[in-house]
Amino acid sequence: MAGASNLPPGFHFFPSDEELIIHFLRRKASLLPCQPDIVPTLLLNLYDPWELNGKALQSGNQWYFFSHATQTRTSPNGHWKPIADETVISGGCNVGLKKTLIFFIGEPFEAIKTNWVMHEYHLMDGSTNCSSSSTSSSSSKRSHKKKGHSDTESKNWVICRVFESSYDSQVSFHEEGTELSCLDEVFLSLDDYDEVSFAK
């Protein structure tokens, strides 16, 4: 499965920030199957970004994988340095956090900056944060308790998108507001979609 897509012919994996969190990261953290189940789990500290080919899910010039949240984010030949945080919103709810990191080669005190960029997505405290819907937040918390799954476990999972910034033509695809109707149709057709949907 790693490095290859099992999507039907004609389908491409270019999810938005919102889709990565709702349809993949939230399900992974809730111990629910991801549909389609094509994103592998990797230990971030074992690989430099140029070694992800054949291990992470490749789509165009981007690589996707699940990992466990870590503070150091070191690799065999360098480390990832956080540079920005951005809240991901869906239907008026804060559903996650998008961290942008840059890869540096070498030790921190003499590191060389590269063009490799990683977007690391986190759940928002294991639940949604809706300014006008406390009921939805309470319902989400009850659901986690019912499954015996703690917020701490949820926050340990992240989903990552890695790419080289000199080849980032794909990155602006979602920033322009383009919708992926084929992905929406796949997700909406799932019988268990209501388990991960959020109140509008």
Task: Tell me the mean pLDDT in the region 18-40.
Answer: 91
Q: Is the pLDDT of residue 64 over 70?
A: yes
Given pLDDT bands bounded at 50, 70 and 90, which one contains residue 183? very low
Identify the three-state secondary structure at position 80. Answer: strand
State how far the alpha carbon of 195 is from the alpha carbons of 15, 142, 147, 153, 171, in Å.
Answer: 19, 13, 12, 18, 29
The reply to whether 140 falls in a domain is no
Q: In which domain, by residue range, is 31 found?
A: 15-126+153-167
The predicted-structure confidence for 92-150, as pLDDT tens digits, reads as follows 899 999 999 999 999 888 999 999 999 999 998 645 556 544 434 444 444 444 455 55
Q: How far apart are CA 115 and CA 164, in angstroms?
A: 5
In a domain, 143, yes or no: no
Query: How many domains are there within the chain?
Result: 1
Residues 170, 62 contacting (CB under 8 angstroms): yes
Of 151 and 170, the one with more pLDDT: 151
Q: 44: exposed, middle or buried (C-beta count within 10 Å: 0-12, 13-18, 19+)?
A: buried
Q: Is position 37 within any domain?
A: yes
Q: For 194, which DSSP code?
A: G
**What residue spans of 42-155 are helical by DSSP H?**
134-146, 151-155
Q: What is the reported pLDDT for 5?
A: 60
Q: Cα dihedral sign for 50, 176, 101, 18?
A: negative
User: What CATH number has the domain bearing residue 118?
Assistant: 2.170.150.80
Q: Is residue 1 part of a domain?
A: no
